[in-house]
Structure 1
Amino acid sequence: MEAKGLKRNCTGNLETRVQEETLPPTSYVTWDIFLIQASTSLEKLKILCKEDEENVNPSTLIKLYTQAILDMTYFEENKLVDEDFPEDTSLQKVKELIAILSEPEVVVKESSLHPKHSDMLGPELLECLYWRRGALLYMYCHTVTAREEGQSKKRDVLKKCLIDGISYLLKMFTFRCPLHLNEEVSFQDTDTAKLLSEGIFSDTHLLATMYTGEMCYWGLKYCVNEEPENCDIDTNGPGTSSTLLKESLEFREIGEKILRKYISICEGPLKGQAWNTTNAKKILNFFQHCHH
């Protein structure tokens, strides 16, 4: 597929998505700006796609397409949160949103214009796509585990969502290399250098470590003895580890490692910056005393 095919995929997919959305009711007016932004990106894409292929950078097209998807899905995600993830419909909606957030990488792969997704999308957009999928599954699992029935019903689905959510968040840390510290290089701000050496480039990266730790806790507490059954959700997408999906995730090992990192950062270079470690320490204590 050449640049022409990329144009067709971007505009066709996105126009369908935007047209499927309706004007939000008054309770969602806070979030309707994101649908407006998505629509604006679509119009920009249409204009660019009318130009000669030689004058259009494919990277510009896919980035506009990706930003529109991020805006549109953010609106939908906040609707789910505001509605407290309705039991009858939220699982299917989460599945749909995960699939939509996977589309930019699928389009890039099908275009065959670049051997790597990062060459066209760039690390920041890729991090955002993986963060949004992981955070969405985190919020869904948070709601499910808070409901009494969620602790005894459909644990196979919960486990699948936890494993996929953890996989997405861990993948988020792979698109940029941590800063390498050594004695030959001096830094004026040692705290910032320490953060960069740990792969923490933003607040979102740090929050992702805590989310991962919490999902490992839920997995160990509710799902570790459950055998996978036929799930009615399939969150498979680019970057999801097939190995992790086929085998039982080592919730304790991953959880302990990433929460120790979180605590070390919050009580080290970010000490005094209002990052709370109380819950992280409680989960670590659970890991150490749980006999699963």
Structure 2
Amino acid sequence: VFLAKGSATLDKLKDLCNKGKECPSMLLQLYTQAVLDITYFEENQLVDEDFPEESSLQKVKELISILSEPEDLVQELCWILFQPISILGAELLECLYWRRGALLYMYCHTAKERNEWLRESITIFRKCLHDGVHYLMKMISFRYPLQLNEDVSLQDKDTARLLSEGIFSDTHLLAMMYSGEMCYWGLQHGGEGKQESLETVDCVSNSDLSCRSQSMLLDFRETGRNMLMKYVAVCEGPLKGQGWNTATAKQMLCYFVKCQS
């Protein structure tokens, strides 16, 4: 289904390019949607195959590179006048970052159970965690939380609180849980809660934002604790009774506290 959707979008994009009538932003949005559809099919194949140990890391790198292309293209073509969010919109950008972060989450979830690989590739594993958390936190940051004041009238107080926390969808909430869990894995596998620079590690993707900056610090303990505390507060507050489980998040929070003491 997603391959068919992606193919149809590419056909439409080709037709519009030939006619030369559509504005560049529309063409870039169509291209982005095609990328999302086609890579989704390939991601599902990886998940169905349980991320084959011999080949999955390279495939993950390729998919992340492809999912980075729309934003790279916008920056290359329009960076002087426009930011990517003004061309692609918040929703598409969130999808691009969510998909990269969630892909690395799923890969790490499988890879952490492969003890021999983990011993030999711990640096790669921690880099995947680092980049995954980066993508998910970036995904959460595109839309500003709603500022509640006398000019904003929302009858549903629970909805108002969610929007004021910057949670606009279930995906935002999942991103908090996933990033917290990846930080937990990072601590479990040698993180020690310290801020660390991963500039010497080969990038998961050449277009990885953390690689461009050469050095990016991430405190697994502090970041994970903040994400999971927010997740638990929301799930047991405005979303209480909506089926969101907090037991695992609370266990990980206890681990973060233990590491700090």
TM-score by length of 2: 0.92
Query: Given the alignment of the two structures, is residue 57 of structure 1 paired with residue 23 of structure 2, yes or no?
Result: yes
TM-superposed deviation, 1:175? 1.4
Q: Is the 8 A contact 1:171 1:239 kept in 2?
A: no
Question: What is aligned with 1:235?
Answer: 205
2:231 to 256, 262, 267: 262
Distance (whole Å) between structure 1 residues aligned to residue 71 and residue 197 of structure 2? 31
Give yes or no for the alignment of 1:106 onto 2:57.
no
Q: For residues 46 and 124 of structure 2, what CA distance do their matches in structure 1 show? A: 18
Counterparts in 2 of 1:66-145, with a 5 A limit?
Answer: 66-112=32-78, 114-145=81-112
* C-alpha distance 112-186 of structure 1, shift in aligned 2 (>3 A): closer
Cα pair 1:167 1:241 within 8 Å, conserved: no
Change over 3 Å in CA distance of 1:230–1:185 after alignment to 2: closer
**Residue 277 (1) aligns with residue 243 (2):** no
Q: What is the aligned length?
A: 257
Q: 1:65 to 1:197 in 2, by over 3 A?
A: same
Question: Which structure has the larger Rg over C-alpha atoms?
Answer: 1
- Structure 1 range deviating more: 87-96 or 167-176: 167-176
Structure 2 portions without partners, runs of 5+ = none
Deviations 1:121-171 (A, max 9, x none): 000000000000000000011111122224422110011111110000011
Identical-residue share of aligned pairs (%)? 58
Residue of structure 1 equivalent to 2:219: 250
In structure 2, distance between residues paired with 1:151 and 1:106:
32
Match of 2:189 in 1: 222
The separation in 1 between residues aligned to 2:123 and 2:231, in whole angstroms, is 28
* Alignment match, 1:199: 166
Alignment partner of 1:34 is 2:2: yes
DSSP 3-state at the match of 2:141: coil
Indicate the SS of the match to 1:50.
Answer: helix
Structure 1 unaligned spans of 5+: 1-32
| TM-score of the two chains, using structure 1 as the length reference | 0.82
- CA displacement 1:38-93 (0-9 Å, x = unmatched): 110111011101113xx211111011100100011000101100111011100000
Using a 3 Å threshold, how does the CA distance of structure 1 residues 290 and 69 change in structure 2: closer, same or farther?
A: same
Taking a change above 3 Å as real, the CA distance of residues 144 and 152 of structure 1, as seen in their structure-2 partners, is same
- SS of residue matched to 1:290: helix
